[in-house]
Copies of this chain bind each other. A is one copy, B any other.
Amino acid sequence: MSKVVLASRNQKKIVEVRRILAEVGSTIELLGLDDLDIDVEDVPETGATFMENALIKARSVVEQTGFAALADDSGLVVDALNGMPGVLSARWAGRHGDDDANLELVINQISDVPDERRGGGFVCAVALVRPGGVVIESEGIVRGRLLREPAGENGFGYDPIFVPDGYTVTTAQMSAAEKDSLSHRGRALRALAAQL
């Protein structure tokens, strides 16, 4: 079993990635940044795309720890916001990682947008970087529409307003297994695991 560090301190994300990898029979032992004895410094995510940011994060963790590193960068693309919050999804309201403020801001920004223009999608870019420099990249996307009010308690981030195409409930109203089966992160990670 090989050790891989997930370039994240988000416990919910670590649990989700670990679960998806386990389901596809991956033998990776996934550690979060906070599980290490090494103090890993965060790098600014200055990439213009999800994949650029995933690579920036994974490479930085490899350099600082010597372990292989898995990083994802993912976010919500809102059609009425020209594809934003995009790479800024985690800091849309101005501070990093304030899920409630980010969600409330998107809800308010598109409150006047009519139903026919409320499309959007979740996008996930995943990069696995090994100490030798080998890189494996993968992307997943799920399209859907955005509700005016949040619904559901599961998931995190923008899940409470996102209804995937073909469904009538938000990803925050789904079980973890159901969400993983269709989610952007599930798709990206299964495609990546298939390349290992």
Contacts and interface: CB of A to CB of B under 8 A. Distances in A.
A6 interface: no
Interface in A100-144: 104-105, 108-109, 112-114, 117
Given A46-B114, A117-B48, A109 B83 contact: no
A75 interface: no
Contacts of A92: 109
A82 interface: yes
A108 B98 CA distance: 13
Contacts of A81: 82, 84, 88
A72 to B, nearest CB: 18
B94 A44 contact: no
Contact of A94 (B48, B91, B108, B117): B108
16 contacts: A46-B112, A46-B113, A46-B114, A48-B117, A81-B82, A81-B88, A82-B82, A82-B84, A82-B86, A84-B84, A91-B108, A91-B109, A92-B109, A93-B105, A94-B109, A95-B108
